Amino acid sequence: MSMATEQKFMELMKQQAAYVEAIGLMAWDMRTKAPRKSAEGRSEVLGVLSQKVHDIQTSKEMRQCIEELKGNVQDPVVKRAVEEAEETYDKNAKIPTEEYRAYVTLQTKAESVWAEAKENNDFEQFRPYLEELVEYNRRFADYWGYEDHRYDALLNNYEPGVTVKVLDEVFPKVREALTQLLIKIKTSSFKPDPSVLEGHFPKENQAKFSEVILKRMGYDFEAGRLDETIHPFAIGLNIKDVRVTTKYDETDFRTAVFGTIHEGGHALYEQNIDPKLALTPLADGTSMGIHESQSLFWENFVARSEGFWKNHYELFKSYAPENFQTLPLEKFYPAVNEVKPSLIRIEADELTYCLHIMVRYELEKSLIDGEVEVKDLPVLWNQKMEDYLGVRPDKDSDGVLQDIHWSGGDFGYFPSYALGYMYASQFHAKMQEEIDVSQCIEEGNFNKIKEWLTENVHQYGKMKKPLEILKDVTGEELNPEFLIEYLTRKYKQIYHF
């Protein structure tokens, strides 16, 4: 093995990173600023660029570099990059290049059609695109191979090490615990009054408050920005350019404020990856579950806590409309934490949130395994929402069309939201052993929290696998009891049971 091979490998990594950044920038533009009529042409461009990435990842040069470098590299970053490149090569080489390009083009078109279908409440407009996306994902899963469930092959793209067997063991435990908590909450004599949060709240003021909180969290606006979109997301173009988007609702500030903090948690992860990993595939979150653990940590464990509002309520009122000025914190805090099963996932309270994920997990698992078809989704969706949450959508835009994920072909992604919540609970418990988290939040001292997360999670990027990080940080495997204990403790206090 020569240094020339290592240099050639790193040059391939840089080329790949350049294309990926260009694709990311176009994706951000399409979801925020691009005119609607640009979708068709942009889809073709993204297809070409994505094929270039695929070509690099599956090239003879890449295979040669992997073969020569594997087991012969001392530098830990290069060693891990080679491992990542080999995994990607093995996976992508199984997909014909033209088929991959056609799929990427379809993804981009489908996302644009989904946005229009959602706006028009027209599932049939989106249905043929979704059917094609599902068929591609079934085929890709067969290309990659699996042991028990076809869906496992897709789960592996987002949460390596987690399988249907794991989820089918963990999710029912959480569902049972949440169901029991919901019963106690519904029968409690105390009920928060959400009407105290009503009133017109200009989005300009919501944005100003959100920007202040992002800065206090440690989000670097010189390496990012905040924009408006139909479906909130964060996107890391590179370590020095990590962007946040949000959705404003002038009748309910919670959508934007908590949504922005959530996306800010994602962004902090990517802004604080070790610079040594830049221009390699390692400069990214290790899994979507670990990524979600960071966003949910900030949104729920920090921003929905009583200590957060004790510190930030006066600041909030300086941006809030008149009706909040005489509202005591004792009524505000329970109101923002009201438990009320709802239709929309991104607006769900933190207790029922996981139930939304379980609806989606069970549907897409059945889709990929061939047990149900796309045409059946609206009816099945509505029934599961009623079974799990006791609510039934009266239109598909509030039901099966509400999420962007399927339009992008992101099958296997949804479980990561619930897994992230479990990871966050374990991280929170461990952090409590080392620093006084509650005191930090109440004092508005977020630096210690951010530094702990950077030291234990952020800096590693993809240097460690998700379950490796969980075990290294907490000393144990995935354990849903931490989430159950956290939610039980919090809502016992709020609902007095």
Q: Which residues are catalytic?
A: 263
DSSP letters, 71-85, are T---SHHHHHHHHHH
Q: Residue 319 — φ and ψ, nearest 5°? A: -110, -15
C-alpha–C-alpha distance, residues 20 and 210, integer Å: 29
Q: Which residues contact 11 (CB under 8 A, 6 or more apart)?
A: none
Are 104 and 130 contacting, i.e. CB atoms less than 8 angstroms apart?
no
Is 266 annotated to bind ligand? yes
Is 262 annotated to bind ligand? yes
What's the full length of the chain, in residues?
497
Buried b (16+ CB within 10 A) or exposed e, 246-256: bbbebebbbbb
CA dihedral 306, 312, 316, 317 (to 10 degrees): 90
C-alpha–C-alpha distance, residues 351 and 290, integer Å: 19
C-alpha–C-alpha distance, residues 231 and 112, integer Å: 12
Is 292 annotated to bind ligand? yes
Are 98 and 379 contacting, i.e. CB atoms less than 8 angstroms apart?
no
C-alpha–C-alpha distance, residues 288 and 466, integer Å: 9
Are 332 and 196 contacting, i.e. CB atoms less than 8 angstroms apart?
yes
Are 339 and 349 contacting, i.e. CB atoms less than 8 angstroms apart?
yes
Are 31 and 233 contacting, i.e. CB atoms less than 8 angstroms apart?
yes
Beta-carbon-side half-sphere exposure of residue 195 (alpha carbons within 13 Å): 2
Residues annotated within a binding site for Zn(2+): 262, 266, 292
Residues annotated within a binding site: 262, 266, 292
